[in-house]
Amino acid sequence: MAALRAAKQALRRDIKQRVAALSEQEKQRQSKVVSQKLFKHPIYASCDRIAVFLSMHDEVRTEEILRDLFARGKTCFIPKYQTQGSHMDMLQLHSMQDMDSLPLTSWNIKQPSDEDLTRAEALATGGLDLILMPGLGFDQSGNRLGRGKGFYDSYLERCIRHPRGKPYTIALAFKEQLCQEIPVDDNDMLIDEVLYEDPGVVVECR
């Protein structure tokens, strides 16, 4: 386990350096390419209940995706992380104005406040069709390197136990986040696809 943790930490440092070397303009350019691929994806088109992350500085930008979700009349959910532990819920987001009104956490991520108890939680109200996944690194076998907190792995475990079952998972990545092989253990959940800028349409993970 110690060797696996060390391998993951080393890879996290390497990927963070690669992404940090990208200009803001390049991040925006790749994000646009990835977003356009998603909009043409048949699974995205057919899904109604979709969870999407609110992007941090080193992640594919998701603002355009949020606008598209609302324009198509889909039901949108966003993460609410518990800063202590690895618990995460997916709470409904109603509009871009709703997103703009959300407070910032200490991690500089917008999310509903603890006092905001009115939002529907995805698994309590019918489950999810699709989760758009963040992450630090990905490989072509569907392995994902997160930030080490286990939020998404734990949430996907909960999804599997839900009557609707595990939603389809699509990771959104800069091409600098693709790796030959991600070191994983039994708790790391596989993802279905990775979208990134590439001459091909998609990396089929499974």
Binding residues for substrate are 54, 59
DSSP H or E run through 31? helix 24-39
Q: Which helix (H) or strand (E) holds 76?
A: strand 75-81
Q: Give the Cα separation of 70 and 65 in Å (integer).
A: 9
Cα separation, 140 vs 55, whole angstroms:
22
Would you say 145 and 179 are in contact if contact means Cβ atoms under 8 Å apart?
A: yes
Per DSSP, the residues of 144-171 read EE--SS-HHHHHHHHHHHSTT-PPEEEE
The amino acid at 48: D
The C-alpha R_g of the chain, in whole angstroms, comes to 16
Does residue 89 sit in helix, strand or coil?
Answer: strand
Tell which residue, 119, 191, 131, 193, has the closest CA to residue 162.
131
Asked if 132 and 52 count as a contact pair (C-beta separation under 8 A), the reply is yes
Annotated binding site for ATP: 8-12, 144-152
